[in-house]
Structure 1
Amino acid sequence: MKKIIFTDKAPAPIGPYNQAVLADNTLYISGQVAFIPGTDNLVLDNIEVETEQVMQNLKAILEAADMTFENVVKSTIFIMNMGDFARINSVYGKYFNEVTAPARETVQVATLPKNVNIEISMIAIK
């Protein structure tokens, strides 16, 4: 069974997709960027602040599905500049226990929606 997950504590979708879909016990979270929930404003001050906003948006969606970062089994990080990897990783790493951290890939891309520097999607299991 498929259930749409939505929270006003995370940015509303800007296209024909949902924040997340729960299928049985698996949550598929759409890629999140650094929008401030309830606004059209992006947090682009620096890569650490931008990553922090993305992680807070993901946290809100996980909570809407009664989950935490401990439920995350897979993350995908899309970044504009691989030179930002260490700075992104330092923020991202604060949200996970290193022993139980999810599988992950990080991919440098040519461009991202709204010209942001980072987008992260996740898969979590109850």
Structure 2
Amino acid sequence: MKEIINTKKAPGAIGPYSQAVKANGFVFISGQLPLNPETGEFPEGGVKEQTRQSLKNLQAILEADNLSFSDVVRTGVFLKNMEDFAAMNEVYGEFFTEKFPARVCVEVARLPKDARVEIEVTAVCE
């Protein structure tokens, strides 16, 4: 069985997918672009601001199922330019402060809406 998780505190899906799916003790959260859920726009600034918004969106989805970043076991970070790694990592460290999840970070040719970053997570739930 699977349960769909959805919150208006994060941007809605821009395609035929769910914000998150809960199944077999895990919550799989789709990649979050740095869209402000109220305006549908990217924040002003660069990759730091975009990373922060993507993580805020993930946080809102986690909280919709009474979870937090401490429940995250794996993240996937997609960067438009690997030269942004240090800046992204700095902001990422504001949200993940201990018992760090496993992570993959890759550079991609292009992201939806020409974002500079997109982040997905998998969390464990009871």
Equivalent residue number for residue 65 of structure 2: 65
In 2, are the aligned partners of 1:9 and 1:57 still within 8 Å (CA)?
yes
Equivalent residue number for residue 43 of structure 1: 43
Q: CA deviation at 1:43?
A: 1.9
Deviates more, 1:10-19 or 1:31-40: 31-40
Equivalent residue number for residue 81 of structure 2: 81
Q: CA deviation at 1:42?
A: 1.7
Letter in 2 for 1:125: V
Letter in 1 for 2:46: N
Q: Percent identity?
A: 46
Structure 1's consecutive aligned runs of 4 or more residues displaced over 3 angstroms after TM superposition are none
Q: Which runs of 5+ in 2 are unaligned?
A: none
Q: Which runs of 5+ in 1 are unaligned?
A: none
Report the count of equivalent residues.
125
Normalization by structure 1: what TM-score? Answer: 0.95
Q: CA deviation at 1:44?
A: 4.7
What is the root-mean-square deviation in Å for CA atoms of aligned residues? 0.9
Equivalent residue number for residue 55 of structure 2: 55
Q: How does 1:1-126 map to 2 (within 5 A)?
A: 1-98=1-98, 100-126=99-125
